[in-house]
Structure 1
């Protein structure tokens, strides 16, 4: 996908693999200077090297995102690297433990809500006002189709992302009048390192949608890049399903 993000700084969380890595590389290919965050320094350095080899610019910030203080620290670091501002924020980092509600430990609950909800909340709290002061910006939250679909074993994950989708709309109302666009993508089954353990179940889930196949990380990244770019200048507060048509057949039942 061809986009023009020249002169802009983008922060992508969870950017060392899967959708986050593909998104970081796509934004960099569009001319953005990309700040990548993640836990694995070796994989982060590899993504930065690949971006540089393709003619782009990026830096990696290692760290464990889990709470407000870690989110604020990352926001500060990204602004410093971006010469005072971040123009694009992609809230991609997340965890998706599967299992029965009865087997969920409180520590698991706190960890999922911490990374999937609290971290995006405080990254936006830090960066959106600065974007407004700088003349505008774009925030893209990565959700999931199970934020709209009740699925056994995915209650906690789906609930965390459903809350993120509501925040997408609330932040649009709050920051949209100041030039900050906030949108979300809701991927369907996508082949990544994180979903590899699902094995054939991933293909079976994808087979129920009109597309009949699993998405690639790049297909999701292209949707994120679109929402981050000026091509989506009049798009605000939407949750864009990138699910192979699953939502269409569900809504027609």
Structure 2
């Protein structure tokens, strides 16, 4: 039996896509620590998802996990329906699922383009659409979309990724205009370079080069992105509408 909820998200239910690792996992745990019950989707990452469920329940909150491809609308809808049946309707949606493929522009295939845009932009769009009517009917909700500072500045070799993340920022701002008057706050987070399994796989030389460019001289931690997500999800985020917060170590200053 779960303990009484305490914290800024007490009594709330959060759904996190791509929640088994990295930023999504840190946000799921932070939401639980702030008092929310948490449902996550993942892409066939069952072992990591089970350990996350244990981490959430160890904090006295309810948890649910399910494999679902964020680029497939039927699987998105199945996850939303199953999460609602297990925990209840969504108060906080964190659209985090994503991939990163590095290919020179002239070699990008149609299949790679479609996969990148499907996972990032299409997935974000239709996951938000799946929970949106319920939020409107209940008079409120929070939708938080994970973008990237590369959607603001661009970078060579990852054109499709940058385009997808820029699209998420544009989608966030457009939906915020429509959703804000109905009580649904839509915002984005555009992290800079963050220590994750993916970035660690790039090696020490790549990391040193990235860190040398940053005013803070270090990569960020997933917990620092999770803190921003909790802000936007909770009472402290009540006047953010269409914002794109970018914890990036000074990579972009705006």
Mark yes or no: TM-score above 0.5: yes
Which of 2-11 and 95-104 deviates more? Answer: 2-11
C-alpha RMSD of matched pairs (Å): 1.4
Deviations 1:35-87 (A, max 9, x none): 0110211110011111222323211112222222222222222222232x100
Q: Distance in 1 between matches of 2:180 and 2:208?
A: 38
* C-alpha displacement of 1:3: 5.0
Aligned 8 A contact 2:187 2:232 in 1:
yes
TM-score after normalising by structure 2: 0.93
Aligned to 2:3: none
- 8 Å CA contact 2:73–2:123 kept in 1: the answer is yes
* Aligned mates of 2:176, 2:153 — CA distance in 1: 23
Structure-2 residue corresponding to 1:177: 181
Q: Deviations over 1:214-238 (max 9, x none)?
A: 0011111111111111111011100
2:198 corresponds, among 191, 194, 198, to 194
**1:148: how far off?**
1.1
Q: What does residue range 1-253 of structure 1 map to in structure 2 within 5 Å?
A: 3-39=7-43, 40-83=45-88, 85-199=89-203, 200-248=205-253
Equivalenced residue count is 247
What SS does the corresponding residue of 1:119 show, helix, strand or coil?
helix
Where does structure 2 lack aligned partners over 5 or more consecutive residues? Answer: 1-5
Unaligned 5+ runs, structure 1: none
